[in-house]
Amino acid sequence: MRLFAPRLADGARLDLEGVVLRLKVNPQARRISLRIDARTGEAVATAPSARRLHDAVAFAGTRRAWLAERLVARAAAPAPVAGAAIELFGTPYVLVPDGRRPRLSAAQISGCGQGTVDPQLVVRAIRREALSVFSARTEMHCRRLGVTPPAVSTTDTRSRWGSCTPAAGRRRAWIRLSWRLALAPFEVADYVVAHECAHLIEANHGPRFWTLVGSLVGDPSPHRAYLRREGPRLHGFGR
């Protein structure tokens, strides 16, 4: 039984054998694509035109199992409740809601609520730690590359883990990194930092770019695979 009428139009939703699929038209898209919306948790099939929506649905049908796996992974995101442990850069921290000023100690995220955990306070503590680690790693990678360290900030983007804006005139270069990388192992997060630092020299993904990344963190393939596999879970945390 379908949950939604199968009208193939931008924004329509279909029941794909238990997987809710939202259709999207993006004239700038070069091809049909599938993803999990980090904000809503829906499966989204994007087509470059309304005429290609039938193709998008057909393609989603062939990848239904993959979509279901991604949705299950997202649902498995750890719940921020008292006594739960959250791993930051691979180190577990227990949530202790004993006040309103979030802080990290050796093995705890304390002050993240009064009796019950306030997810916003947890995120605040994680973002603070993430920025500290990202800034230190950016400085180290830039020193190895021989470039001036850029400004660093954290974001919560849904489509990318990081971005790099090169310097222009008097404007300083700027790297933005998803704070959710703090929920991944240190090596994975460090790869993304190195990836964006390499863009300060090579604003593309050509062979020279990947050589630079490899000189900083070695083979990036395992880290990229981790983000593809675990990305939905990281994006699902605290939502």
Cα distances (Å, whole numbers) of residue 211 to 62, 139, 177, 205, 208: 35, 19, 21, 10, 5
Within 10 A of 211 (CB to CB), how many other CB atoms are there? Answer: 11
Contact present, 95 and 81 (Cβ < 8 Å): yes
Residues of the chain above pLDDT 90, percent: 42
pLDDT for 199: 96
Q: Look up tokens 């393939």; give the residue.
A: 221
pLDDT for 4: 47
Residue range 106-135, pLDDT digits in tens: 788 988 888 888 888 899 999 999 999 999
Residue range 44-103, pLDDT digits in tens: 889 999 889 889 888 988 888 888 777 776 665 666 788 888 899 999 999 988 877 888
- Please tell me the distance from the alpha carbon of residue 80 to that of residue 77, in angstroms, as a whole number: 9
